[in-house]
Structure 1
Amino acid sequence: MSLLQAFEISMLLTSVCAVLLAGWLLWQGKQQPAMPALAGFAAMMALWCAGHIAIMQHWPKVGMALVLANPLMPMFFLHFALQFVADGQRTDRLQRYWQRWKLPLYAVTVLLIASSWYWRGGGVASTAGFNAFFVFSGIGWLNLAYTVLLGVAAHLVLYLGWLQHTGNKRRSIVAMFLAGGWGLLLATSFVFPSLGLNWYPYPMLLLPSYLLLLVYGVVRYQLLAINAFANKALLWLGMLLLVLALMALVSALLGQFGMQALSVVPASQLWLYSVLLLLLSALCYRPLASLAQKLIYPGVQLNESLLALWREQLLLCDSWPQLAQQASALLSAQVRQKVQVLLPDANMTPDSGASLYLLCQRDDTGWHYQLQGWQDVTPGYRLQGEVFAALLQSQCRIFEQSLKLAEAERKRLDQQHLVELGALSAAMAHELRNPLNIIAMAATAIDASSRAHIQQQLKRADRLIADLLNYAGKLQLHCAEVPLKALVQTVMQQQDWQGVHCQLDISAEQTVYADSYRLQQVLINLLDNALAFCRQQSDAQICLSTLQQGDQTRLYVHNNGPAITAAQQASLFQPFVSKRAGGSGLGLAIVRRIMQAHGGTVRHRTDMGWPVSFELSFSAQINTAKEPQHG
């Protein structure tokens, strides 16, 4: 291949790439307002390259006219730069100036180009490797100077944008500067003949790379679609290089296989035919693929817009039943048959009116789908069902994660609310004791009967406040080995038994690792409840016993009072659900909280031979019990 052919192919490739990019950028202008101006830059680059080809093909007037239209390239790029860096304080003034002077500046540019055409701002000369090449003359030098000035202005605007922007936009500006430096290096050789230098413009052979690098650097951080386009472009470029190498090998071997006619074909023509064949294949690939799909899967209408619609509709669902119903409606409308989608958490039963089913199930490995009853469905509808099922499977995974996050957030807010409520309750309980003390002091001046009644109610109020503080306040444990029998006997001495018989079946050596003060609170609350319910019976009995199982100690508190109903058992340890007259409703809730702080448990038993039994379980030693617990 001669240098002349190499130059012509380079200009042709640059022109074709520029036209394709201009069309694509105009299409993307709906999403990015600055892209149409960049499309204008690409279009002018295509015309500029076409001008060089026209000169080489002996169309000098057309070629010189296209080359002298060069100032429109930086003009469009300046327009693009001002739109690209918009929305910043430093460029607000520039934007105002641009809106005022945009049309006059375009008019000056067009006027200069027309003047260059009229007064012949260029000519054609013979130089190294070329019989005809463009050279500037007369007003053409003003044309060139104006072009350079516009390019400098555009890059100054980008510099101001680089100062004010961050993130992807700043990265795009850096990429533009790097591409601009590369383009300046390549374009320098364009003026060699005009300066009287008889040098071949080798850098211009790489001109196709400048436009690609510039546009890709601009939009790769702004439009994700260009990255997919670049991925395909690299694939096709690799295939092109492979075809060129293959053609070179075939050309060398054709003579060995007796194909003399083909062996004398110039390698450049074989390469050109191969490139054209590859480009034709690229252009025909999508239509042929679409046609093949329609032939193999008739009736299928799968495209990006349909998938986006499905995804959007499924994302609107906020419950499993709604997701199942929406999925059923979408798929039924698509395959024109009634389809029922069954999800594990939607609580739906198979509909006898549906002939097709889509099951989405979850196991230890994740979500899976299964199509049932689709054996007689046409391949096109079967494909649609498979695609929809894969999309629904992904949506189920996303929806499950979102529900878990929402539940975790709800629990966090509930916990925070309980903490705040506990702090408020503790503060209010402390404040209530001040007016109660004043009432107690004021009651000393009244008659004995009224004073006794008031003091009785004050004691009750003080007990309610103490229970509220125990439940809602900070709970800090100081644990040690506690002799269980001695502790129980101490608590028993504080109770008013009133004829209730108490049996103690605890070994003197039995110990538990606990906070003795908090354990006394547990026993006092359990014994108070037991006495309140069985004191009115003639044969009232209470029994405390222990059982050692491995490293666990179990303490039982039995009584023969009225059995607790099944309805009451469901909320037995919840606060403020007491059925005992005069109770605060916090006794058993305090018991559970103290036992949980010890790392133990409390539960109600009905299988111990007593109407009412409570079981307290202690581990041998709970180190975490030494840490403070907050309500």
Structure 2
Amino acid sequence: MLLFEISMLLTSACAVLLAGWLWWQGQRQRAMPALAGFAAMMALWCAGHIAIMQGWQTLGMALVLANPLMPMFFLHFAVRFVATGYSDALLTRVQRTIPLLYGLTVLLILLSWQFQGGRITHSSHFEAFFAFQGIGWVNLLYTVLLGIAAHGVLAYGWRVHSGNRRRSIEAMFMAGGWGLMLATSFVFLSFGLDWYPWPMLLLPSYLVLLVYGVVRYQLLGINAFANKALLWFVMLVLVMALMALVSASLGQLGMRALAEVPAWQLWLYSVVLLLLASACYQPVARLARGLIYPGVQLTELMLERWRLQLQKSESWPELARLSEQLLSQQLRMNVGVELPDTPLSTAALKIRCQRGLQDWYYELPGWEDVTPGYRLQGEVFAALLLSSCRILEQSLKLADAERKRLDQEHLVELGALSASIAHELRNPLNIISMAAATTPMETRSHIQQQLKRADRLIADLLSYSGQLSLQCSWLPLRPMLEGLKAQQDWQGVQVELQVPDSLQLYADSYRLQQVMINLVDNAMAFCRNQPEAMIQISASATDQMIEIQVHNNGPAIPAEQRAALFQPFVSKRSGGSGLGLAIVRRIMQAHGGEVEHRDDLGWPVSFVLHFRQPQEPIITTQDTAHE
């Protein structure tokens, strides 16, 4: 009986505190006052049980019979909670019935009081306990129906909401199931069952879990409070268990006087001691920090100021400079900070932040011999700096992506301008060509040579900047290459074809010729002055890929030039436009293929074309022709 009274007292006390707190939160959350009413009614309901056991039976029965107000307040809360951020005709109709349901609830409570809806009974465990009778059963049934209606509204809210609001509803359902299991034992004696209502001893947990489930996703500050509350609750349980063990052991040790002290007094002393410890925790913690970490002046305000200042940095050198300044001012000694793209620091104390495979990490070189207080400040600052490094890294990535987007837009504009200028240049060049017809042979030959060069440059500009429209078909590769070979002035360079006779390629004939001419011209420009200059073109096929290789024995391409090899306007040969390889790459990309430079195929310079072929058989033979 004593345990039951303590449980009801704890539940009532918790409910009063929660009701006050929820009412205060109602200034920002419109659903909270109704939940505060639910908590207040639970406090009165528990107080009614205590009043019955203390002999105030009339008051106690009146408070217990008022229990329909508990689910009524909860139904009101559920409607407001679901309607926050969402509204439809169904919720509107339910909201309009709330005042009517309040009136019906109060009427039923008054009838229950008037017609004695309850009685006082006793059992082997209780001298006085509440049991329903007569209209009291209607009271109980109505209470259950209101609870079902409230959870029905929550189920509807779970369907229409998402995110944290849905998570809150899920938590309320779990807490409701727990509460139903606990409250079921309340009606044991009403049904004539002489069972002790053990589940009701855990009733304080129901209210706490219910309210916490509601607010933990809505008010983030409550989670820190819940963390501390859970810690102190576990400590309370452990101390009470220890006191019970000590009380049982004192008699065996001959300390009869201490063994006869009532258990509830020992538990009360334990609670008082824990409350005193809780009150002294912060001052003692500050004193302990002062003794263990002397000179440390870290405050939440200072940490927030550091965080805001560090996040203003827009580059790695700026972040390193600001970090050194802030920490050096705090410690009154020179501290170096090493970040990516910053020089190594010569300071004795350093903070080094680096990007690992998974995440950022920090090192503290030179901090081994400093005092614990300085070490603590260094580690706290390094943790803040790591957070700023992550933010800056993301900012730089976003800035780089934006810069590339703007560069792409600029290239598109430049391409359109180049195409326009190239078209306009053709007219004056034609006039110059016609005017040169009457000039001396030597002069005319020189003019025609330069006009051909200008026309080739214009053609390259149009190819690179214009729209690529492909007209693909199946082409016999070897005849096309032999035709190019016959048309080209090889200037003493030996050419060798290693292409199967029956190999067919699905590509645009004109664009493919353009690719091969650009690669061959590029190869000739570098190898024609070499002894025994040679260019070899080979091809091979698989089920879904055709590979064309263009080799030459000219000088190898330096490693520092390979990264920009296919970039436009990058030319390393005299008279080149810098667009040949860029055009090759663009045409290959339009075909869904790739081009790459290789130096590991037995030749100083090799360019490999990869054409992905459609799902159609490609006829090829194993014999290879040589020229």
Q: TM-score, normalised by structure 2?
A: 0.66
Which one of 256, 269, 275 corresponds to residue 260 of structure 1?
256
Partner of 2:151: 155
Which one of 618, 622, 626 corresponds to residue 606 of structure 2?
618
SS of the equivalent of 1:556 reads coil
Q: Is the 8 A contact 2:415 2:464 kept in 1?
A: no
SS of the equivalent of 2:381 reads helix
Partner of 2:53: 56
Rounded Cα–Cα distance in structure 2 between residues aligned with 1:422 and 1:367: 44
Cα shift at 1:617: 1.5
Partner of 1:317: 313
Cα shift at 1:250: 3.3
Equivalences for residues 223-242 of structure 1 within 5 A: 238-242=234-238
Q: Is the 8 A contact 1:50 1:66 kept in 2?
A: yes
The letter for the 2-side match of 1:6 is: L
Q: Is the 8 A contact 1:296 1:380 kept in 2?
A: yes
Which one of 82, 87, 90 corresponds to residue 85 of structure 1?
82
Tell me if 1:343 matches 2:357: no
Deviations along 1:522-570, one digit per CA (max 9) or x if unpaired, are: 453576799xxxxxxxxxx95565599xx99763379xxxxxxxxx999
Tell me if 1:74 matches 2:66: no
Rounded Cα–Cα distance in structure 2 between residues aligned with 1:392 and 1:84: 40
Cα shift at 1:169: 2.9
Cα shift at 1:392: 1.0
Rounded Cα–Cα distance in structure 2 between residues aligned with 1:143 and 1:254: 50
The letter for the 1-side match of 2:361 is: W
Which one of 266, 271, 284 corresponds to residue 288 of structure 1?
284
Which one of 207, 211, 214 corresponds to residue 210 of structure 2?
214
Rounded Cα–Cα distance in structure 2 between residues aligned with 1:189 and 1:310: 56
Partner of 1:535: none
Partner of 1:360: 352
1:436/1:235 CA distance change after superposition, 3 Å: same
Rounded Cα–Cα distance in structure 1 between residues aligned with 2:150 and 2:176: 11
Q: Is the 8 A contact 1:192 1:201 kept in 2?
A: yes
Tell me if 1:392 matches 2:377: no
Partner of 2:179: 183
Partner of 1:497: none
Partner of 2:457: 464
The letter for the 1-side match of 2:554 is: Y
SS of the equivalent of 1:85 reads helix
1:304/1:24 CA distance change after superposition, 3 Å: farther
Partner of 2:5: 8
Rounded Cα–Cα distance in structure 1 between residues aligned with 2:571 and 2:249: 100
Q: Is the 8 A contact 2:12 2:47 kept in 1?
A: yes
Cα shift at 1:312: 4.3
Rounded Cα–Cα distance in structure 2 between residues aligned with 1:157 and 1:489: 82
1:239/1:360 CA distance change after superposition, 3 Å: same
Equivalences for residues 194-205 of structure 1 within 5 A: 200-205=196-201
Number of equivalent positions: 565
Cα shift at 1:75: 3.9
The letter for the 2-side match of 1:464 is: L
Rounded Cα–Cα distance in structure 1 between residues aligned with 2:312 and 2:106: 53
1:8/1:584 CA distance change after superposition, 3 Å: same
SS of the equivalent of 2:362 reads strand
Tell me if 1:42 matches 2:39: yes
1:54/1:166 CA distance change after superposition, 3 Å: same
Partner of 1:599: 596
Identity of paired residues, percent? 55
1:367/1:207 CA distance change after superposition, 3 Å: closer
Deviations along 1:464-490, one digit per CA (max 9) or x if unpaired, are: 3432355465999999999x9x99997
Q: Is the 8 A contact 2:337 2:345 kept in 1?
A: yes
Rounded Cα–Cα distance in structure 1 between residues aligned with 2:46 and 2:15: 9
Q: Is the 8 A contact 2:422 2:462 kept in 1?
A: no
Q: Tell me which moved more, 36-45 or 401-410.
A: 401-410
SS of the equivalent of 1:618 reads strand
SS of the equivalent of 1:368 reads strand
1:20/1:423 CA distance change after superposition, 3 Å: farther
Which one of 355, 361, 364 corresponds to residue 370 of structure 1?
364
The letter for the 1-side match of 2:362 is: H
Q: TM-score, normalised by structure 1?
A: 0.65
The letter for the 1-side match of 2:354 is: R
Q: Is the 8 A contact 1:525 1:591 kept in 2?
A: no
Rounded Cα–Cα distance in structure 2 between residues aligned with 1:74 and 1:64: 18
Deviations along 1:483-522, one digit per CA (max 9) or x if unpaired, are: x9x999978736xxxxxxx886x7x889899x99756534
Structure 2 residues without counterparts, runs of 5 or longer: 501-511, 536-548, 614-627
Rounded Cα–Cα distance in structure 2 between residues aligned with 1:336 and 1:101: 66
Cα shift at 1:85: 0.7
Tell me if 1:556 matches 2:554: yes
